[in-house]
Structure 1
């Protein structure tokens, strides 16, 4: 990310920055001269930034710990710095759980399931739902991902056969799933804990209206992604999925339609990742291998979630 220098941080927000360190391509950790911490984020989509700020404000009204956007000296939450857009947030201290902890500690997936259930319950009544983009899982797979993979040289011959065989069944399974505002990036690193208690949730930039089990499936596949090449942990992943879904269901009941669609939505998420990494061969190959692995283990997955009903 092209950085805003310390002088501009002070100019825009009045923060005397003492140290800047990169967190990601779009985020910088800012420490001021008193060691107070903030997160500076580059914004590429202004409406998405406004939507995120609306969610953060909404959740704060329910005493949910989320990063607070800092009001600038210009009385705005988004700064235009010569055509580059930035927001500054309070920093949530704490830790994130590793994928290994998610699988080996049975309490951790229960924390995550309850957390997602709580957030979905709150966001289901969000008054500004109409301003969020709406996505269709079927369209994302068959009218975006599938086409984006057409020219990938390492694409398996099995993929096209699978997409052809599954299309009608897939469309039927996801067609009537409940939709609402979801986080859309329910990755481990976006859930901050203090000890074993939830401290807060971050990074709502991708929030959208989609099927609510997308977040559950995204969380599950993000854990699988981290342990995929560990035979023991990838086998135990099915137990983790059961605990994750069961704990969600206890707080925010899932319908039979949603249970039946979990495998399909996981395949959809892997398809989206394959499309996203179509130009990066090793990442495409990794996500393709995960897609085929999940496809071949449909019955194992069904067996792991049926007891959660």
Structure 2
């Protein structure tokens, strides 16, 4: 039998490619936990898998806490089944159940992200990844979506993009994670234990990651967890933690609320199906919330 192919897609059968047996418990729509030791992940696109595998390999070699890939006996990092691809890795300790309101967690998250960005800098020369631009996306497919679907008045979009464009060329660019939330950052008994899921990693402005994380907290806590003052404190603490590893330029501190706003407008454009209306409305609500806090955010970052 070719150890990169198997006739059935059931996870227990896929594991035969690695000569493993046991129970596969589904933890996400495309991932299974195997024997509490491994994680099996399914990919539809081989190039995405290869990119993720390459990044995990480089980061692991650098001593960064990421999942270690288990190759099939032939040495390949994946197995193939019915035009789908599977990668097996060792399970990292810990989980993603972390409360941002606990003392020190926001600052710790900033530090964790700063350390990751430092590692990304060192491995950029070994990795070829998509070179993207938030500004280009806003002036491109996001503006086209608005023109087509009228989910926001065009003057508001022009204003938001104009704020982003002012000084955009001064914002440092590098490899970023692009999907920073607690689901992708693991903690074990309160201590950080590992980074996961680099599927969306790309080159972009580096403050995209911290802005994405902070606006994501608002979205997940809407109506229940964080009030405005708590969130602003978290913004300050996360930035302070990040700056323990990478100082933020004045241009970056000025741009942070504008990047947040444009990320939310990007999401509003992305959620374009009728059944996604609630997600679009939530993104727009977050956009207006951040817009109303621009002065406070700038004040917090300058203290």
TM beyond 0.5: yes
Structure 1 residue 204 corresponds to structure 2 residue 198: yes
Moved over 3 A (4+): 127-130, 149-153, 166-169
Q: Give runs of aligned pairs for residues 90-129 of structure 1, distance below 5 A.
A: 90-98=90-98, 101-102=99-100, 104-128=101-125
Q: How does 1:28-177 map to 2 (within 5 A)?
A: 28-31=32-35, 36-98=36-98, 101-102=99-100, 104-128=101-125, 131-152=128-149, 155-157=151-153, 160-177=154-171
- Within 2, Cα distance between the matches of 1:304 and 1:137? 24
Tell me if 1:27 matches 2:21. Answer: no
* Cα distance in structure 2, aligned partners of 1:164 and 1:6: 48
**Residue 276 to residue 202, structure 1, CA distance change in 2 (3 Å):** same
CA deviations over 1:232-266 (Å, ceiling 9, x no partner): 53431010010000111122111111111111111
Distance in 2 separating the partners of 1:6 and 1:106: 40
Alpha-carbon displacement from aligned partner over 1:11-62 (angstroms, at most 9, x marks no partner): 21111022x332222222222xxxx432221213323322222221222223
Residue 262 and residue 6 in structure 1: after superposition, are their counterparts in 2 closer, same or farther (change >3 A)? Answer: closer
CA distance in 1, matches of 2:183, 2:94: 11
1:283 and 2:279 aligned: yes
TM-score, normalised to structure 1, is 0.88
RMSD: 2.0
CA drift of 1:127 comes to: 4.4
Separation in structure 2 between the aligned mates of residue 274 and residue 97 of structure 1, nearest angstrom: 27
> Which shifted more, 218-227 or 3-12?
3-12
Describe the shift of the 1:114–1:13 C-alpha distance in structure 2 as closer, same or farther (beyond 3 A): same
> Is 1:4 the equivalent of 2:4?
no
Per the alignment, residue 175 of structure 2 pairs with 181
Closer, same or farther: CA 44–149 of 1 in aligned 2, 3 Å: farther
Structure 1's 191 and 149: CA in aligned 2 closer, same or farther, altered over 3 A?
A: same
SS of the aligned residue for 1:54 comes to helix
Cα distance in 2, alignment partners of residues 141 and 106 from structure 1: 36
Listed as ranges, the gaps of 5+ residues in structure 1 are none
Unaligned runs of 5+ in 2: 1-7
Which moves more between the two structures, 202-211 or 127-136? 127-136
Rate the CA distance shift 1:170–1:69 in 2: closer, same or farther, 3 A. same
1:12 and 1:74 in contact (8 A); partners too: no
Match of 1:243 among 237, 240, 255: 237
Inter-partner Cα distance in structure 2 for 1:232 and 1:107: 16
- Residue of structure 2 in register with 1:304 after alignment: 300
- CA change 1:144–1:209 in 2 (3 A) is same
Count residues with an aligned counterpart: 294
TM-score for the superposition, normalised by structure 2? 0.90
